[in-house]
């Protein structure tokens, strides 16, 4: 299928020229930083964000395995969204913007695959929305990072703005639409893990007595002391 860029006035190209024009006027070190951030940095930051969210969730056992299942879904949604993008890119076959438009500042030359939809935008937004489903605060940070990723891809001259918007839409759709099915599958799995030697993956304290054998925990020292105290008071009454 022909690419989506057309001759004549085109807001997509105009926005591309405007954002990419910033790279032409920026110092070399700024472009180097944007190249690293846009290609690797934001994805790495989202990975760290997922780990922090997991660390926080497992220290709040009252939220249960459902919270961990939601966090597991975020990277899984990103992987499924990338798989869904493969036939889309092959169907649209949109060339990279620097192949159709001269004068762009291309920070990462040599990319030969198709442009629509942006893999980076798809991946980052799927993770951000997946995190938002599980934990709104971390999700908002993730979505903010995804938006920054989209800006970076256009700044670097490797994607049109509509490539990025399409990636955001695809990542959001996969993360939201498949979330109920994912929860139905992942919550029982996380519950089973909570009752196994790998319980530390779900809760910070490891297995509880309830999680280990399905029964309530053994009474603690205070619970055990109460019957003995009542027995002692009864003996005193009888002696009197």
pLDDT, averaged across the chain: 83
What torsion do the CA atoms of 222, 225, 226, 230 make, to the nearest 10 degrees? -160
Number of domains in the chain: 2
pLDDT for position 137:
93
Q: Tens of pLDDT along 6-30?
A: 455 688 888 998 999 899 889 999 9
In a domain, 157, yes or no: yes
221-229 contacts, C-beta under 8 A, 24 or more apart: none
Give yes or no for a contact between 145 and 42, defined as CB atoms under 8 angstroms apart. yes
Lowest mean pLDDT among 56-60, 158-162, 201-205: 201-205
E strand or H helix at 71: helix 64-92
Kindly compute the dihedral angle of the four CA atoms of residues 117, 97, 16, 22, in this order, to the nearest 10 degrees: 120
Q: Tell me: do 189 and 214 sit in the same domain.
A: no
Residues 185 and 152 in one domain: yes
Q: Are residues 73 and 173 in the same domain?
A: yes
Q: Residue 33 belongs to what H/E stretch?
A: helix 28-36
User: pTM of the prediction?
Assistant: 0.79
Q: What is the 3-state secondary structure (H, E, C) of 180-215?
A: HHHHHHHHHHHHHHHCCCCHHHCCCCCCCHHHHHCC
Q: Is residue 200 part of a domain?
A: no
Asked if pLDDT for residue 174 goes beyond 70, the answer is: yes
Determine which helix (DSSP H) or strand (DSSP E) holds 170, and give its type and residue range. Answer: helix 161-177
pLDDT tens digits, one per residue of 100-109 = 888 888 888 8
Average pLDDT, stretch 148-172?
Answer: 95
Q: Are residues 118 and 219 in the same domain?
A: no
User: Is pLDDT larger for residue 72 or for residue 240?
Assistant: 72
**76 and 190 in a common domain:** yes
Rounded to 5°, the CA angle 47-130-92 comes to 95
What is the tens place of the pLDDT at every residue in 41-52? 999 999 999 999
Crossing angle of helices 119-134 and 161-177, in 10° steps, is: 40
Does residue 60 or residue 73 have the better pLDDT? 73
Reading the block at residue 105, the tokens are 């500042």
Host H or E run for residue 167 = helix 161-177
The reported pLDDT for the residue numbered 60 is 81
213's tokens: 């054998």
Is the same domain home to 121 and 180? yes
**190 with 57: CB under 8 angstroms?**
no
* Structural domain containing residue 174: 11-194
């Amino acid at each position: 299928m022909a690419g989506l860029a057309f001759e004549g006035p085109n807001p997509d190209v105009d926005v591309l020229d405007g954002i990419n024009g910033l790279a032409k006027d920026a110092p070399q070190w700024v472009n180097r930083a944007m190249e690293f951030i846009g290609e690797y940095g934001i994805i790495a930051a989202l990975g760290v964000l997922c780990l922090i969210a997991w660390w926080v969730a497992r220290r709040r056992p009252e939220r249960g395995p459902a919270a961990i299942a939601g966090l597991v879904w975020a990277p899984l949604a990103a992987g499924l969204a990338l798989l869904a993008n493969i036939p889309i890119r092959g169907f649209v076959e949109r060339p990279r913007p620097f192949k159709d438009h001269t004068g762009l500042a291309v920070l990462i030359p040599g990319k030969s695959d198709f442009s629509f939809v942006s893999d980076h935008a798809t991946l980052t937004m799927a993770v951000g929305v997946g995190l938002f489903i599980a934990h709104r605060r971390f999700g908002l940070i993730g979505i903010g990072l995804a938006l920054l990723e989209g800006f970076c891809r256009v700044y670097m001259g490797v994607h049109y703005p509509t490539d990025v918007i399409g990636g955001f839409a695809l990542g959001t759709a996969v993360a939201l639409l498949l979330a109920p099915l994912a929860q139905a599958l992942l919550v029982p799995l996380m519950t089973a893990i909570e009752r196994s030697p790998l319980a530390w993956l779900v809760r910070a304290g490891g297995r509880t007595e309830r999680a280990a054998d399905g029964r309530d925990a053994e009474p603690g020292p205070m619970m055990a002391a109460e019957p003995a105290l009542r027995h002692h008071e009864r003996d005193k009454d009888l002696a009197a």
